[in-house]
Amino acid sequence: MAKKSSQLSKILPFFFSVGAVIVFAVYISHNFAHYRQLLHLSIGSTIFLAGLALGSLFCSGIINYSLYRNLGVSLPFSESFGLASVNTLANQLPFAGGIVAKGVYLKRQYNLPYTRFLSATVALYACFIAANGVIGVAIITLLTVNGVSVPTLLKMGFAAMTASVLLFWLPVDIKSLSDKWRKRFKQLGEGWQVLSQNQALLFELVGVQIITTLVAAGRFWIAFHVLSQDVTYAQCLLFAAATVLTRLINIAPGGLGVREGIVAAVASLLGFEAGISAVAVSIDRLVATSVIVVLGTIYTYVLSKKVADTDQVDSTISEE
């Protein structure tokens, strides 16, 4: 029995890696016609976009490192960055594969309870929505001061994002709720306490998220200018700030179509052609996905092998 477990531990990372490659191959094959027109990027633009995509993953790695170490997980930065890569690759699936992969890894490797992981993740995401809302409100205020007309719908949207942080202070009487919803509110409260009791951590994570949004805006700025669109960096910040909502509607691989739709809607309200805006997002997606599949596949193998080796050691100890 021990021998079979040992053999399984050795081949498991291989199967995970092959699975990651197959998922990406299917994803590309289904959308190749959509991307074929985007393969004529200049080398310079491609390098800049790839570098900024790598920067986004680096920021995600910092968020993982800071958050999970404060949840009692002794996670080195190399694993934090690896989890960010695997998480982004797994999100190419038509469900929240990234959250599942990350939660399972932290549970098996570091015994982090699922409820603690999920509640902290949800609480942090709500803070990120609010932070991006603040960015949007600030940019809209700047544009208004400079005499640029901004649609009321856009103002209301970013104001609502900013107000999402108030969810944590709603006077909800959980005693009147069913056991199911009462449990969920308690779990969310636990995640919020992790952040609210450590304000330095909260400000650090929100700060990194703001940098992530700034990087994403840079990616959009390059993509729009590849298409000869006269878009400002401030407008690209509005696009980037709004795309945080993509995670709420992950019904297609990597939010395919949702992210494009959000940017196209915001761009349309600002007077840009929706179709060209969607193509600009697709240019960024094409380059970023290429970076993600390389790093994600490598770290899928590395991290799954780490879990397999740990399982093998635990199995040996239990037998002794």
| pLDDT for res 3 | 45
Residue 286 binned pLDDT confidence (cut-offs 50, 70, 90): confident
The CA dihedral of 24, 223, 81, 207, to the nearest 10 degrees, is: -140
pTM across the whole model:
0.79
| pLDDT for res 202 | 87
Could you read off the pLDDT of 65-77 as tens digits, one per residue?
999 998 888 889 9
Task: Tell me the average pLDDT of the chain.
Answer: 79
Calculate mean pLDDT across residues 265-271: 89
Distance from C-alpha of 202 to C-alpha of 50, rounded to nearest angstrom? 29
CB proximity list for 315: less than 8 A, separation 6 or greater:
2, 5, 6
Q: Higher confidence at residue 103 or residue 62?
A: 62
| pLDDT for res 1 | 46
| pLDDT for res 316 | 53
Distance from C-alpha of 270 to C-alpha of 264, rounded to nearest angstrom? 10
Is the model's pLDDT at 106 over the cut of 80? yes
| pLDDT for res 272 | 86
Burial of residue 184 (CB within 10 Å: 0-12, 13-18, 19+) is middle
Could you read off the pLDDT of 213-227 as tens digits, one per residue?
999 999 999 999 888
Mutual angle of helices 97-110 and 114-145, in 10-degree steps: 140
Q: Which of 21-30, 68-77, 191-200, 278-287 has the highest mean pLDDT?
A: 68-77
Distance from C-alpha of 123 to C-alpha of 183, rounded to nearest angstrom? 15
Q: Kindly calculate the radius of gyration of the chain based on its CA atoms and give it in whole angstroms.
A: 21
Number of other CB atoms surrounding residue 138 within 10 Å: 15
Residue for token pair 């992530």: 212
| pLDDT for res 176 | 61
Could you read off the pLDDT of 175-202 as tens digits, one per residue?
566 666 666 666 666 667 777 778 888 8
